[in-house]
Amino acid sequence: MRISSILSFVGFVLIFAGTYCPLLRPFGLFNWNVYQLNQPYGLVMLLVAIIGIAASFLNQPKIIQAAAWVSAGLVVMLLIAAFLKIHFTFSFIPFHKFESFLARQVKFKWGWYVLFAGVAFSVGGALKSKPKNYIQNAEFSS
């Protein structure tokens, strides 16, 4: 395995593990991971991570690159969705101060660091996975 494949493998394993890490903590009572936020979305993230892990073992740089960019998009969209879910869940309350107080009670947890570290490693490995083709010019002497 090349260094770039190992780097991508580590990134995809971090994404795999990050789906089980706590992402949100509403009202300090319990933790939510990806599957409690949106289970089908979490399964898609898990499937992309497994495809990336398999591609890194099989040394397929194009599949690694595609899986890395898809996982980056999925993690960014999950962050945007979580942010919007927090800030629009309590929008039905007519009192703005009480609505913002309730929105502040939902905290982001350390699982986001794991997900974004996994994305950084997998994309970094995918960018480095392009093989360098050196064409050597042979001089023919007659």
The confidence band for 3, taking pLDDT boundaries of 50, 70 and 90, is confident
Domain membership flag for residue 136: no
Domain membership flag for residue 121: yes
Domain membership flag for residue 49: yes
Domain membership flag for residue 83: yes
Domain membership flag for residue 135: no
DSSP calls for the chain: --HHHHHHHHHHHHHHHHTTS--EEETTT--B-HHHH-HHHHHHHHHHHHHHHHHHHTT-HHHHHHHHHHHHHHHHHHHHHHHHHHHHHTTT-S-HHHHHHHHHTEEE-THHHHHHHHHHHHHHHHHHTSPP-PPPPPPPP-
pLDDT in tens, 20-77: 999 999 888 889 999 998 999 999 999 999 999 999 999 899 999 999 999 999 999 9
Total of domains in the chain: 1
Domain membership flag for residue 141: no
Question: Range of 8's domain?
Answer: 3-128
